Amino acid sequence: MKSSALIETREWLAVQRWLLPILVLIGFGLAFAIPEYGLFNKYVQLVMMYVGINIILAASLNLVNGYMGEFSLAHAGFMAIGAYTSALLTMRVLPVAEYPGLFPLAVLAGGLMAAVFGLIVAVPSFKTRGDYLALITLAFLMIVKSLIENIDAIGGPRGIPGIRKLTTLPWVFFWVVVSLWVIRNFVYSKYGRGVLSIREDEIASELMSVNTRRVKFLAFMLSSFFAGIAGGLFAHVLQFISPRVFDIIKSTDILIMVYLGGIASIGGSILGATVYTVLLELLRPSTFGALLSWLPDMLFDPLNEYFIRHLGVWRMVIMPLALVLVMIFWPRGMMGLREFRWFIPKRDLDAHQHQHHAERENPHDPSHRP
């Protein structure tokens, strides 16, 4: 009885699409209210900003690795380009100290610069796929990291310290909403259909008059653009960036978020980024110790001596191991190839429901089979 009521409630909520803009407005209100009235401490607010930045990263990478079926390892490189571009603009060009409203221009410039470099990665994808494209994108990441390390004008291997903290919770929420809205509209546009057809069969897509080159250009540029946006936000919340921050480990983190949440799913990207970021923070020795501080000393002391103190090392082993286990036992992730109904356009949802009803009425009719 309870399960049927829960299903009915879920079905009712799924069709109430008018709730989504209301929830977005409530989210904006909370994004302003939380720091203004101190509803959560500074650490929780920082984690919330990291969650938002990681949602942008996971959703943008999912566009290439999930919807298009490619395998890119260059996302940390695009993030680095956006971070360095926006940081240099706010420190040396734009007078953000007098006019903080110029900060979005710096973030946008970081995204545009990353999108330009996304063209470089899109070109090899015309002739290579799978493991070969993964190697090319990995080489691109290493090239970006090496170039930054050898340019003293932008800090070289020392990085850029003293970046002004301009990233706030409202700005993060704003860019999360924009990125998810743009990616969702792209996925359900005619170019998004082309992206999905490339994942299934690129040769058949070309035979069906899909301009695969244009589609790949748009997908790679859009993905790298939002990676650059996330990099700009990240630089101005961390207040320090260096080439070591944007290495293969960072790309691996983003991959874990994508495959944990599920490929080809915007909702999966949200869930994967949220779960991974929160788990990573919980596995910090200080956070984990604080959560278990209520235990008696006779239990807490040995636990702290032999386990909690070493979490700083083991958490970087646990999370990649989680990716391996997810790929083996849960290859589609939490929401692989599925989507929240609120993200699906009404015309697509109505068409799917019409086909489902037709199949139920005439289960032996071959015209209703996919």
Contact 138, 72 (CB under 8 A): no
Helix, strand, coil share of the chain (percent; to 5) = 80, 0, 20
Distance from C-alpha of 359 to C-alpha of 260, rounded to nearest angstrom:
32
Evaluate if residue 19 carries a pLDDT over 90. Answer: no
Instruction: Report the percentage of the chain scoring pLDDT > 70.
Output: 90
Evaluate if residue 49 carries a pLDDT over 70. Answer: yes
Residue 271 CB neighbour total at 10 angstroms: 21
Instruction: Please give the pLDDT value at position 307.
Output: 83
Distance from C-alpha of 368 to C-alpha of 62, rounded to nearest angstrom:
30
Task: Identify which has the larger pLDDT, 267 or 352.
Answer: 267
In the block, which residue shows the tokens 């200080």? Answer: 286
DSSP state of 45: H
pLDDT digits (tens, 9 = 90+) for 103-118: 999 999 999 999 999 9
Instruction: Please give the pLDDT value at position 315.
Output: 76
Return the domain boundaries, the chain: 40-251
Evaluate if residue 188 carries a pLDDT over 60. Answer: yes
* Distances, alpha carbon 173 to alpha carbons 165, 188, 268, in Å: 16, 23, 18
Among the residue ranges 164-178, 206-220, 247-261, 302-316, the one predicted with the least confidence is 302-316
Among the residue ranges 86-95, 117-126, 142-151, 175-184, the one predicted with the least confidence is 117-126
Instruction: Report the percentage of the chain scoring pLDDT > 90.
Output: 60
Quote the distance between the C-alpha of residue 132 and its chain's center.
23
pLDDT digits (tens, 9 = 90+) for 319-363: 778 778 877 888 888 898 888 888 888 777 766 666 655 556 666
